[in-house]
Amino acid sequence: MSDTNYLLENRKVEAAQRFSALSALFNPGTLRQFDACGLATGWHCWEVGAGGAELVRIMAERVGEGGRILATDIDDSWAIEAASPHVVVQKHDVALDPPPGELFDLVHARLVLVHVPERERAFRNMISALKPGGWLLIEDADPALQPLSCIDAYGPEQERANRIRQGFRALLASRGADIAFGRRLPRMFREAGMTDLSAEAYFPVAMPECISLEIATINMIRKDLLDSGIATSDDIEGHLESVRSGTLDLSQPPMISVRGRKPQAG
C-alpha cells in the first residue's frame, strides 16, 4: 500500500496527536493481549505498522536487552524515536515487501490491515514470519458494526457529528479501507489453521482521549472533507467547537482483537 493513498498519513502534523490518543485508548487492551500471549524477556517481536513510538518502547521494556523488536511501517518517521540497540525500525510494506528474513515469537498489528487493500497477502506474510508456536495478534476496527460518532444522537450537534463521521468512513472506503473488516478476523485465523484462538471487541465511549483523537482526525482530513463536499467550513468549525466544549459523548468504532498460535512443526 502506497503511503500517498493513505488518508491518515504519518507525515501530516496531526499524526503525533492521533498516535498519542490512540495509544491512550487502546494500549491497555493490547497490553492485556500481550500478557495472554505470555510476552516475556528474550522474545523476538515484529510490530507491523508501528506508527508512533510508545507501544514499541513498552514492548522493548518487556523483552529486555536479550530480546529484539522489529518495528516497521510504510512511513517510519515517528517510530524511529524508539530505535535502540535491540529495537530496529525499518520502512516496510507488510503486503508488498517480502517478510523479514527471520522468525518471531510474536507478530502484532493494530489498525493496519483494515487500511491495506492487499490485506490477505499481508496476513499470510505475518503468519510466515512466525516461529512454530509463535503468536499472531491482530487488532482492527470494524466501523460498520458501530458507525456513529455519537451513539446518543439526541440533537443537531450530535447529528452533525454523525454525518461527518459517515463521510469520513466513505473517504476511508474510497482509499481501499474495508470498514467491515474486523469481524472477519476470527474466521481468517481459523481458516489459516491457527490454534488457541481467542477474540474480543472493545469500543470507548465518552473518554477524554476521544476528544483529542477527534480534533486531530478532523484537522487531518479537513481538506478531504471540503473537497468531497461532505462538510462545509462552517460545519467543520461548528463540529470542532462542539467537540472542544465537551458536550458530545464521542465514541470510536469497535476494536476487534484476535490472537492465535502458529501450529508446532510436525
Q: Are 208 and 143 in contact (CB under 8 A)?
A: no
User: In this structure, what C-alpha cell is assigned to residue 114?
Assistant: 483494515
Tell me the CA distances in angstroms from 135 to 36, 106, 109, 122, 140, one per residue in order.
Answer: 10, 5, 12, 16, 16
Answer whether residue 49 shows pLDDT above 90: yes
Helices (H), 91-204: 119-128, 156-174, 185-191
- State pLDDT tens for residues 186-237: 999 999 999 999 999 999 999 999 999 999 999 999 999 999 999 999 999 9
Answer whether residue 10 shows pLDDT above 70: no
- State pLDDT tens for residues 51-68: 889 999 999 999 999 999
Q: Are 50 and 73 in contact (CB under 8 A)?
A: yes
Confidence of residue 6 (pLDDT cuts 50, 70, 90): low
Strands of the 130-141 sheet, one edge to the other: 87-91, 68-73, 44-48, 104-110, 130-141, 255-261, 195-202
Residue 8 has a pLDDT of: 66
Residue 1 has a pLDDT of: 47
Burial status of residue 141 (CB atoms within 10 A of its CB: 0-12, 13-18, 19 or more): buried
Answer whether residue 75 shows pLDDT above 50: yes
Supply the pTM of this predicted model.
Answer: 0.93
Parallel, antiparallel or unpaired: strands 87-91 and 68-73: parallel
Count the neighbouring beta carbons within 10 Å of the beta carbon of residue 20.
16
Q: Are 141 and 116 in contact (CB under 8 A)?
A: no
Residue 254 has a pLDDT of: 96
Residue 2 has a pLDDT of: 44
Region 34-63 average pLDDT: 96
Count the neighbouring beta carbons within 10 Å of the beta carbon of residue 177.
22
Answer whether residue 5 shows pLDDT above 90: no
Parallel, antiparallel or unpaired: strands 255-261 and 44-48: unpaired
Region 41-47 average pLDDT: 98
Instruction: State the Cα–Cα distance between residues 136 and 168, nearest whole angstrom.
Output: 29
Residue 4 has a pLDDT of: 45
